[in-house]
Amino acid sequence: PHVREKITNLVIYVDMLKSLARASCIDYVTHGGIPIPNPVITNIAKYHFAENLHACIKAIQDIAGGLLITAPTYKDFQNPETRGYIEKYLGGKAGVSAEKRLRMLQLIRRLAGFETEVLAVHAEGSLQAQRMTIYAESYSQVQEYKKWAEIAAGIKD
């Protein structure tokens, strides 16, 4: 069950990003007569991506387990002296060969490595910079919400 939960969280993460990307284009703004993706929604997407990336990588690493670090190299797999052992002990259920598992582990190592994590969080500005942009770009929207809340509370007509 915990693996399914982690996979479900990964699906939520990815689909949230896709939804925000689409929403930023549908709810576009214009600058100088040129339509551009909504900067508030765009920065919310960037923030969501960077803020939650580490949790996603942690989930992937947890699912992959210790083999992520200790798995033999592909060179070991190609070695006739060790290949049989690797196929025997790393082969999964029917249709999941040791070679496929090794290739997937290598992909995870490449994509979820330390450098990738740092770049994903800081390449487009810090999390705080994204939050500041969201606030600045949505200030008029917040004022509108405030006005409606005051009307609903009977504070303002």
Rounded Cα distance, 150 and 140, in Å? 15
Yes or no: say if 109 and 68 are a contact pair by the CB < 8 Å rule: yes
- Write down the pLDDT at residue 92: 86
**122 has a pLDDT exceeding 90:** no
φ, ψ for residue 125, nearest 5 deg: 100, 160
**121 has a pLDDT exceeding 60:** no
Nearest to 86 by CA among 76, 75, 96: 76
- Write down the pLDDT at residue 130: 81
Q: What is the pLDDT of residues 29-85, one digit of tens each?
A: 999 999 999 999 999 999 999 999 989 988 888 888 888 888 898 899 999 999 999
- Which positions ≥6 away from 89 have C-beta within 8 Å? 98
